[in-house]
Amino acid sequence: MSTENEGTVVPPAPSAPPVPVETPAASPQATAHEAPTTPLPPVPSGAPGVPEPEPAHTAQVPAYASAGAPEAGQAAGPGPEAGAWPPPQPPTTSAYMDGGGGASYAGGGGGDTGTPWGATYDQQPPKPKSGRGGLFAAVLVAALVAGGLGGGLGYTLAKDNDDSTTSTTVSASQQSGGDLKRDAGTVAGVAAKALPSTVTIEAEGSNGEGGTGTGFVFDTQGHIVTNNHVVADAVDGGKLTATFPDGKKYDAEVVGHAQGYDVAVIKLKNAPSDLQPLTLGDSDKVAVGDSTIAIGAPFGLSNTVTTGIISAKNRPVASSDGSASSKASYMSALQTDASINPGNSGGPLLDASGNVIGINSAIQSSSSGGLGTGQSGSIGLGFAIPINQAKYVAQQLIKTGKPVYAKIGASVTLTEGTGGAQISQKSTDTADPVESGGPAAAAGLKPGDVITKLDDHVIDSGPTLIGEIWTHKPGDKVQITYERDGKSKTVELTLGSREGDS
Q: Would you say 76 and 70 are in contact if contact means Cβ atoms under 8 Å apart?
A: yes
List 33, 197, 223, 229, catalytic entry: 229
CA atoms within 13 A on the CB side of 198: 30
Helices (H) and strands (E) in the chain, counts: 7, 20
Count of positions (residues) in the chain? 502
Single out the catalytic residue among 345, 365, 376, 424.
345
Tell me how far apart the alpha carbons of residues 336 and 291 are, in angstroms, rounded to a whole number.
9
CA 129 remoteness from chain centre: 63
Q: Cα separations (Å) of 109 from 155, 214, 298?
A: 67, 11, 9
**CA atoms within a 13 Å half-sphere pointing along the CA-CB vector of 260:** 20
Cα gap 183→5, rounded to integer Å: 32
Residue 476 to residue 330: CA distance in whole angstroms: 19
**Cis ω before 126 (30° cut-off from 0):** no
The rounded distance, in Å, linking the Cα atoms of 251 and 467 is 33
Which residue, among 493, 372, 380, has the nearest Cα to 440 in the 3D structure?
493
* DSSP letter, residue 219: S
Candidates 108, 334, 347, 305; CA nearest to 217 is: 347
What residues form DSSP beta bridges with 462?
none
Distance (Å, whole) CA 27 – CA 84: 7
- DSSP alpha helix (H) spans, 147-260: 148-160, 187-194, 228-231
Q: Name the residue type at position 291.
A: S
* From 197, 257, 262, 320, active-site residue: 262
Nearest alpha carbon to residue 312 among 278, 289, 292:
289
Helix (H, G, I), strand (E, B) or coil at 166: coil
Active site residue 262: yes
Annotated catalytic residue 488: no
472: Cβ–Cβ under 8 A, 6 or more apart, which residues? 406, 478, 495
Annotation says 219 is catalytic = no
Distance CA 85, CA 498 (A): 81
Whole-number Cα distances in Å, 303 to 71, 285, 318: 46, 27, 27
Amino acid residing at 246: D
Positions marked catalytic: 229, 262, 345
